[in-house]
Amino acid sequence: MASLSRVTKRWTMLGAVAAVTLVVPALVGCTTDDGERLVVYSGRTENLVGPLLKEFSEESGVAIDVRYGDSADLALLIDEEGDRTPADVFISQSPGAVGYLDAAGRLSTLPDGIVERVPEGDAAADSGWVGLSGRVRTLVYNTDIVDPADLPESVLDLTAPEYAGDVALAPTNGSFQDFVTVLRHELGDDEARAWLDGMAAGDPPTFDNNTAIVEAVSRGEVPMGLVNHYYAFRARAEDPDLPVENHFFPDGDYGSTLLVTAASIVEDTDARDDAEALVEFLLSNEAQEFFSDETFEYPLAGDAQPNEELPSFDDISKTRVDLDELGGGLELTTEMIDESGLNR
């Protein structure tokens, strides 16, 4: 017995040593070779942009390396990398992250030909980034619990007593904060604060993010929640029987504000032409239709039309706030949300 276990042990040791000596050099040899390849840092996940990058690569012959990650984390990474960044193009899920890099001087100015392809207001005022696609704020509700006839015409009416405690919110989520910034911009700080206080008075259930809210609404824990429209579409693609539905606030209500995703070119890129070609491709009809058909989002450029299950452009809010122009904007918004007590 003793000799057997000693043999086993020796083999295990040998195995471990062999694994390290074989694997480590093999891994070490594999490094990023920037220069010939276009490097994309993408805050949009592979499901939402990967097929387009592959398509561009095949059509143009430009090899692409993609690093997927959280938009804000990637923005910090590019900032940390400074002039040694391998990144050429940065795709962001929200205006906040591109705004951070723009303010830090890490983005280059996009040519007018690119910026002019989207409506005014869907690109940065200084042409640091351009909008790619949009998600609309909406009220998701459980169809087993809520009668659509009882739903309000405006997001501002959600402070009414009959909705108290029934509307889930994500007070620390970027999309909710952006929506509050829009309210502040359009109605002034006092009315925005009054709305937040009104919502807080009903002691609503709070969550960290949109996915968690739609999940809770679909299992009936909460009747409704303020989210982006994308998530109910996704949930029903997973399971068509889920009792979740979006209620779009009509007539351009603030409750149906469009929040854009964005593309930008990094200041220290060594492949500007390819980078510009990629951003142009993402604004082409082909790519915009992908956003409309596959990711249920609003296209922003060209002839592509929104998914037919979505309200038309005329019905959603026309308001565009330069959400990347932070200048204390977001900080004041988060402060206001904290003060309302929603974060407790």
Partner 1 sequence: MRERAPRTLALVCAVVGALFATPLVYLAWRTLTGDEALGELYTSRATLEPLRNTLGLAAATALSTSVVGTGLAWLVTRTDVPLRRLWTALAALPLVFPSFVGALALTAAVSPGGLLDAPLGWIGLDAVRPEGFWGAWLVLTLFTTPYVLLPVAARLAALPPSLEESARLLGRQPAAVFRTVVLPQVRGAIGAGALLVFLYALSDFGVVVLLRYDTLTRAIYTNRALDRDQSVALSLLLAALAVGVVAFERAVARRHPAAQGARSTRPLQVPLGRWRWPALAAVAGWVVVALGGPLASLGVWAWRGLTGETSSLAGGDAGLGDLVAPALNTVGISLVTAVVAVAALLPLAYLTARYRARAGDLANGLVASGFALPGLVIALAVVFWSLQLPEAWGLYQSFTMLVFAYVVHMGAQSLRAAQVAVASVPRRLDESARMLGAGRTRRFATIELPLMLPGLAAGGGLVLLSTMKELPITLLTAPSGFETLTRRIWADVEAAFLAEAALASLVLVALSGVLTWVLVVRRSERLA
Q: Would you tell me which residues interact with partner 1 (CB under 8 A)?
A: 5-6, 8-9, 13, 16, 19-20, 23-24, 27-28, 30-32, 39, 45-48, 65-70, 72-77, 80-82, 84, 86, 96-97, 100, 172, 205-212, 214-216, 219-221, 230-231, 234-240, 330-331, 334, 343
CB of 121 vs partner 1, minimal distance in Å: 23
CB of 319 vs partner 1, minimal distance in Å: 23
CB of 225 vs partner 1, minimal distance in Å: 13
Angstrom distance (rounded) from CA 335 to CA 162: 27
- Tokens for 201? 């008075």
Q: Which is nearer to partner 1, 83 or 190 (CB)?
A: 83
Q: Which is nearer to partner 1, 231 or 254 (CB)?
A: 231
CB of 48 vs partner 1, minimal distance in Å: 5
Angstrom distance (rounded) from CA 344 to CA 329: 22
Q: How far is CA 186 from CA 48, 147, 258, 318, in A?
A: 31, 30, 14, 11
Q: Which is nearer to partner 1, 77 or 187 (CB)?
A: 77
CB of 331 vs partner 1, minimal distance in Å: 6
Tell which residue, 122, 118, 58, 49, has the closest CA to residue 89: 49
CA-based Rg of the chain, rounded to a whole angstrom?
Answer: 24
Q: How far is CA 319 from CA 83, 102, 121, 238, 313, in A?
A: 36, 22, 9, 32, 12
Q: Which is nearer to partner 1, 77 or 164 (CB)?
A: 77
**What is the biggest distance separating any 2 CA atoms in the chain, rounded to whole angstroms?**
82
Q: Which is nearer to partner 1, 103 or 194 (CB)?
A: 103
Q: Tokens 């280059």 correspond to what residue?
A: 108
Q: Tokens 């509307």 correspond to what residue?
A: 167
Q: Which is nearer to partner 1, 156 or 235 (CB)?
A: 235
CB of 295 vs partner 1, minimal distance in Å: 8
How far from the centroid of its chain's Cα atoms is residue 82's Cα? 24
